[in-house]
Amino acid sequence: MVNTNKPSVKLKVSNLSINYGEASALRDVNLDVYENEIFGIIGPANSGKTSFLKTINRMDIFTPGMKVVGDIIFNGTSLDQWRNVYALRSRIGVVFPLPVGLPLTIYENVALAPRLAGVKNRTELDIIVERCLTRAALWDEVKDRLDSLGSMLSGGQQQRLTIARALSQEPDLLMLDEFSIAVDPVTTMRIEDVLKELKHEMTIILVTNLVQQAYRLADRTAFFLMGDCVEMGNTEDLFSGNVQDERTRDYIEGRFG
């Protein structure tokens, strides 16, 4: 029997447009991101991919000149109705292209968010830190030096620490923006394996310039180009040439970008 159940929508984007002053970053984007999927976004630089993530995390309110029109519904509630932006961000973890380590020990980098959420018991914090570092494929490498500064780790380790810190928030949605730019290929593959496991616990949005990374990880993929969402579909379909717009095929096959 064919399963006709539609997946639950984690994030619904309707008629989203983003401008910086007179410059348009995104125009009239409509898409759904489902529960427990990895949703890939590909496209060349300046296509609006990062602006899209910034809007979901409400960074627009701290970005001068950034104007957002349209509606984004997260967990059934419009972002405009989240009166406390910090409560919203506690549900959305973000990993940026370059590791952004806090000037804290490895332990405190991961324990900070739980502490701010009210967790005081040291044993409980220890469990959270070990769990998050393990899920980020970093525990075995740092378990004997948790009191060392996170900034002393290698670039790849710092990026995994950033992921562990994002996971410590227990987010419903994890967004990654070019996470592998500063990471070696071996570490990149380790993080990709982590993401495949994490999608069973949360929804992931993966922005990447590496089309093969989207192919390896994403269940569905959207192609952004010069501010437009040109096409969106099952990743396997897009990469097998089943596209609606030839620009999608040209980008995937490396003819531009």
Q: Are residues 141 and 233 in the same domain?
A: no
What pLDDT score was predicted for residue 1?
40
Can you give the C-alpha Rg of the chain in angstroms? 19
Q: How far is CA 48 from CA 41, 178, 193, 232, in A?
A: 10, 13, 27, 15
195, 25 in Cβ contact below 8 A? no
- Domain assignment present for residue 2? The answer is no
Is the same domain home to 181 and 214?
yes
Task: Spell out the per-residue pLDDT of the chain, length 257, in tens.
Answer: 444 567 899 999 999 999 999 999 999 999 999 999 999 999 999 999 999 999 999 888 878 889 999 999 999 999 988 878 888 888 999 888 776 667 899 999 999 999 988 999 999 999 999 999 998 889 999 999 999 999 899 888 888 899 999 999 899 999 999 988 877 888 889 889 989 989 999 999 999 989 999 999 999 999 999 999 999 999 999 999 999 999 999 999 998 86
Q: What is the span of the domain harbouring residue 131?
A: 101-170
CATH number of 86's domain: 3.40.50.300
If asked whether residues 85 and 178 sit together in one domain, one would say: yes
Question: 28: part of which helix (H) or strand (E)?
Answer: strand 23-34
* Per-residue confidence (pLDDT) for residue 82, from 0 to 100: 84
Question: What is the domain count for the chain?
Answer: 2
Quick check: 128 and 152 in contact, CB under 8 A?
A: no
Helix (H) or strand (E) holding 237: helix 235-239
- Boundary-marking domain end, from 155, 170, 185: 170
Does some domain include residue 119? yes
Residue 205 β-bridge partners: 39, 175
Query: Among the three residues 170, 194, 217, which one is the final residue of a domain in this structure?
Result: 170
Same domain (yes/no): 43, 73 = yes
96 falls within a domain: no
